[in-house]
Amino acid sequence: MTAAAAFFYLFASLAVASGFMVIAARNPVASVLFLILAFVNAAGLFVLMGAEFLAMILVVVYVGAVAVLFLFVVMMLDVDFAALRQGFQDYLPIGGLIGAVFLVELLLVVGTWSIDPGLVQAPLGNVASGENLTNAQALGRVIYTEYAYFFQIAGLILLVAMIGAIVLTLRDRPGVKRQNITVQNNRTQQAAVETRKVPSRQGVEV
């Protein structure tokens, strides 16, 4: 067994085990931490496949941003997961039955599955092979040329997401004091400071 295969089994089994723990852990914070572990292991699998750019993006985007966001949400929302699981026992028979049916179907599908051997070599058709390109270079070559259209549409989708978030959640709350920088900068010494004579033993009205 080569080192690559050993690492594959290490990452794969850890990914499956932490995936299971995401749904099995009692504490939701632990669930999210196991989710992060699953992402990191998936990134390891990408490295083994030679897709190092994807691996790094997975760590940066999913671990660095998405999972941490999940963590904040889980901590702030205080969801009672015990209450969510209350009906589990009642639904177990019918859920188990459906699960068993799906399992049998899956086994039937996978049993009759056959993949054309010609397809295994098919990917990366658009990238000039032979040159020693890194992942990022190969992606950069096509993303703004071949796939410029998809790139632009994806940009519009993100714009819609941004507008949607603002439309649905941003509210003008009355009575909230806001910092107005222009007004602050335009305050002069005359407007802000006043000199008064303070008579002895009498003080002044402020």
Partner 1 sequence: MPTVHSVLPSLAPLMPEIILGVGVMLLILYGAWRGERSAESVSIGALVLLLVALSVVLSQPTQGRITTLSGAFVSDTFAKVMKTLVLLGSSATILLAHDYFRRERIERFEFPVLIVLCTIGMMVMVSANDLIALYLGLELQSLAAYVIAAIHRDDVKSTEAGLKYFVLGALSSGMLLYGASLLYGFTGTVSFPGIVSALNENAGFGAMLGIVFVAAGVCFKLAAVPFHMWTPDVYEGSPTPVTAFFASAPKMAAVSMTVRVFIGALPDVTAIWQQIFIFVAIASMALGSFAAIGQRSIKRLMAYSSIANIGYALIGLAAGTEQGISGLVIYMVIYLAMTLGAFAIILSLRRRDVMFESIDDLSGLSRTHPWLAFCLAMMMFSLAGIPPLAGFFAKFYVFAAAIKAGLVTLAVIGVVTSVVGAFYYLRIVKIMYFDEAKEPYEAMAPGLRVVLALSSVVVMLFFLVPGPLVGVAGRAAKSLF
Could you list the residues that contact partner 1 (CB under 8 A)?
Answer: 109, 112-116, 118-119, 122, 131, 141, 145-150, 152-154, 156-157, 159-161, 163-164, 166-168
Q: Which residues contact 90 (CB under 8 A, 6 or more apart)?
A: none
In the bound state with partner 1, the residue whose beta carbon lies nearer, of 95 and 164, is: 164
Decide: helix, strand or coil at residue 49: coil
In the bound state with partner 1, the residue whose beta carbon lies nearer, of 166 and 181, is: 166
In the bound state with partner 1, the residue whose beta carbon lies nearer, of 88 and 149, is: 149
C-beta separation of 29 from 75 below 8 A: yes
Compute the radius of gyration of the chain from its Cα atoms: 29
In the bound state with partner 1, the residue whose beta carbon lies nearer, of 65 and 161, is: 161
Place of tokens 């179907």: 105
CB of 106 to partner 1, least distance (A): 11
C-beta separation of 43 from 56 below 8 A: yes
CB of 166 to partner 1, least distance (A): 7
CB of 49 to partner 1, least distance (A): 16
* Residue 3 in tokens: 């080192």
CB of 173 to partner 1, least distance (A): 14
Residues in the chain: 206
